[in-house]
Amino acid sequence: MRSYVSSRPSDILPKLRSLAGFCASQPIDLYEEVKFEPVLCDAIDIHHTFSESGILTGDIICYQKSPPQNWRIYYSVASFLQHVCDNKGTHVILNFSREDLEQATEHFSNASEVGNTEYGHTYRGMTHNTMVAIKLSSSQSLYLQEVNLVSALRQCRHPNIVAFIGVCSEASALVHEWLSNGNLEGRIVCANDSPPLSWHNRTQIIGDVCSALLFLHSNKPTALVHGDLRPCNILIDAS
């Protein structure tokens, strides 16, 4: 659409709304494309004329719906994943491809493996500059059971239950936050020369585990059962 540099961006908003099929009151944000590859845009102040904003004839103007004020904006995938890890209250579950997980774990290399039980293999991986734990289920039926559990937990978070980030149906895998201090089994035997747990830490862990179990067993309308509670499945965070 052609406009004149002496006009204001607000003058073309009604036409843009009409072209896009937006309602007449839909707020719109305008941007000037300043770089083509990769695309880089600068926001345009709709209260200034195009010439005041340094926009010349032939420049490319982009527009989009203005996000609601209560939206949280993430400027990179990494920042979004970090929010998922940090915010126990999030209900977002991401879908990963098998290729995503292979890249994160160097094709499920032995060096990336951090756990191995009859229920599956667990790997440490890096995706979008964020460290995550990736569990490959030993069977499709077990994976579906775990997905059902994740779905049940989406609407109710607890500070002592690991935050799930996403799933991968291609690899029958779950992706969850990475806890840097390993599991309780490793800490009990002081694996990798880790210091022994103090009695204060031990009683705190017992209390946290009981709190998480009480939360699961009290879930409504159906109680949730862990089914495999043992030291290797109790993860320790940095605190």
pLDDT tens per residue, range 58-88: 777 777 777 665 556 555 555 666 666 565 4
Instruction: List the catalytic residues.
Output: 228
Could you tell me if 153 and 166 lie in one domain?
Answer: yes
Residues 164, 51: Cα–Cα separation, whole Å: 49
Domain encompassing residue 190:
181-239
* Residue 66 · residue 31 · CB < 8 Å: no
Average confidence (pLDDT) over 200-217: 92
User: Is 4 inside a domain boundary?
Assistant: no
Could you tell me if 236 and 140 lie in one domain?
Answer: no
Give the closest residue to 16 by CA, choosing from 4, 3, 34.
3
Could you tell me if 164 and 87 lie in one domain?
Answer: yes
CB count within 10 Å of CB 156 equals 14
User: Is 2 inside a domain boundary?
Assistant: no
3-state secondary structure of 42: strand
For the segment 111-161, what is each residue's pLDDT rounded down to a tens digit? 999 888 888 899 999 987 788 999 999 888 888 888 777 776 665 678 888
Angle at CA 196, nearest 5°, toward 193 and 202? 145
Could you tell me if 160 and 86 lie in one domain?
Answer: yes
Sheet strands (E) in the chain? 28-35, 40-43, 61-65, 94-95, 113-117, 120-127, 130-137, 164-168, 173-177
Q: Where residue 31 sits, what CATH number does that domain have?
A: 3.10.20.90
